[in-house]
Amino acid sequence: MPARRLPRPLSGMLLLGVGTLAAALTQFSMQHSDRTTNLSLSSWTGRTPAPITGVASVIDGDTIEVHGQRIRFNGIDAPESKQYCDDAKGFEYPCGRRSAEALDSFLAASRPVQCTFVSWDRYHRYVGDCRRADGASVAAWMIEHGQALDWPRYSNGAYAAEQAKAEAAKIGLWVGKFDAPWDWRASHDDGAAPASQPLGIVSRKLVAQSGYSCEPRRTCKQIGSCDEAQWYLQNCSWGGKLDRDGDGVACETLC
């Protein structure tokens, strides 16, 4: 039996309805570009992704990866991986790197981490509230220790008390001067996208070009030049240990 065709008026109404829905979705996406809701099957069915538990790889100060899923901490913003800040003496230091290292050490002290879903962001990262195995809030700790900022746009000031405490104690970012991460991203187009690789994981291309490697771990006595020391500082998870005074220069006796 030949397939029945829809009457032309009804067919036109269906096409108009699809077009209207597509336009509405496009407008919604544009209006929520920073934290766009994931328009996947789970969104339409109302399903909430299950909590994710596991050992985390640190991407930067507000993003981790667990079981292959990127997870962005809800309500906070940490310096970007390429971001530099000024210390108490006015010298630049890699605050984005320091923030990531602080997070790495904090998570390593009580594994695994568990993250509860809040939303999806525009990079399709799972935005969540995360806690260590001992129940400590990751976001609260990062802010209280001056390694990230409360982001009122998404937190509604949930971490204002922790931030005030860090600012009063002049620890972490608050020891000197810095640009809020959202302001820094606005003025650095190349830093707008999330970091692409975990802390301490260096691409083979970079290793081949430099001749250096993050393994094994080294001390200043085992390093032969200033350039080599700076490479470890910028590319290895343990590199911050080479810059004891936090001025952005590793193994100063070599430089």
Specify the CATH number for the domain of residue 66: 2.40.50.90
Kindly state whether residues 180 and 124 are assigned to the same domain: yes
16 vs 5, 13, 20, 23, 40, CA distance in Å? 17, 5, 6, 11, 22
Last residue of a domain, one of 191, 214, 240: 191
The DSSP annotation for the chain comes to -PPPPPPHHHHHHHHHHHHHHHHHHHHHHHHT-SSPPP-SHHHHHTPPPPPEEEPPEEEETTEEEETTEEEEETTEE---TT--EE-TTS-EE-HHHHHHHHHHHHHHTS--EEEEEEEE-TT--EEEEEE-TT--BHHHHHHHTTSSEE-HHHHTTTTHHHHHHHHHHT-GGGGSB---HHHHHHH-GGGSSPPSS-TT---HHHHHHH---S-S---GGG---HHHHHHHHHH-TTGGGG-TT-SS-SSGGG-
Residues 6+ apart with CB under 8 A from 252: 245
Instruction: Provide the whole-model pTM.
Output: 0.63
249 domain residue, yes or no: yes
Tell me: the pLDDT tens digits for 68-120? 999 999 999 999 999 999 999 999 999 999 999 999 999 999 999 999 999 99
Same domain, 182 and 63: yes
- The neighbouring-strand residues paired with 115 are 52, 130
Residue 168 pLDDT > 70: yes
Q: Which domain holds residue 249?
A: 204-254
Four-point Cα dihedral 234, 240, 246, 252, nearest 10: -80
Model confidence pLDDT, tens digit, residues 204-251: 444 444 567 777 778 898 888 887 888 788 777 778 888 887 767 788
Who wins on pLDDT, 1 or 157? 157
Read off φ and ψ for residue 230, nearest 5 degrees. Answer: -65, -35
Are residue 187 and residue 208 in the same domain, yes or no? no
Q: Please identify, among 168, 191, 214, the residue that sits at the C-terminal boundary of a domain.
A: 191
167 shares its domain with 61 = yes
Residue 78 included in any domain: yes
Task: Indicate whether 183 pLDDT > 90.
Answer: yes
The verdict on 64 and 182 lying in the same domain is yes
Could you tell me if residue 153 is inside a domain? yes
Residue 48 CB-half CA count within 13 A? 8
b/e sequence 219-254, b meaning 16+ C-beta within 10 Å: ebeebeeeebbbbbbbbbbebbbbbeebebbbbeeb
pLDDT confidence band for 177 (50 / 70 / 90): very high
Answer yes or no: do 215 and 151 share one domain: no
Which of 183, 233, 184 shows the shortest CA–CA distance to 84? 184
The C-alpha atoms of residue 184 and residue 189 are separated, in whole angstroms, by 9
Judgement on whether residues 187 and 210 belong to the same structural domain of the protein: no
Query: How many angstroms separate the CA atoms of 189 and 67, rounded?
Result: 29
Asked if 102 and 158 sit in the same domain, the reply is yes
CA dihedral 7, 9, 10, 11 (to 10 degrees): 80
The answer on 164 and 57 residing in a single domain is yes
Residues 114 and 155 in one domain: yes
Residue 64 shares a structural domain with residue 126: yes
- Domain assignment present for residue 27? The answer is no
Euclidean distance between the first and the last CA atom of the chain, given in angstroms as a whole number: 85
Total count of domains within the chain: 2
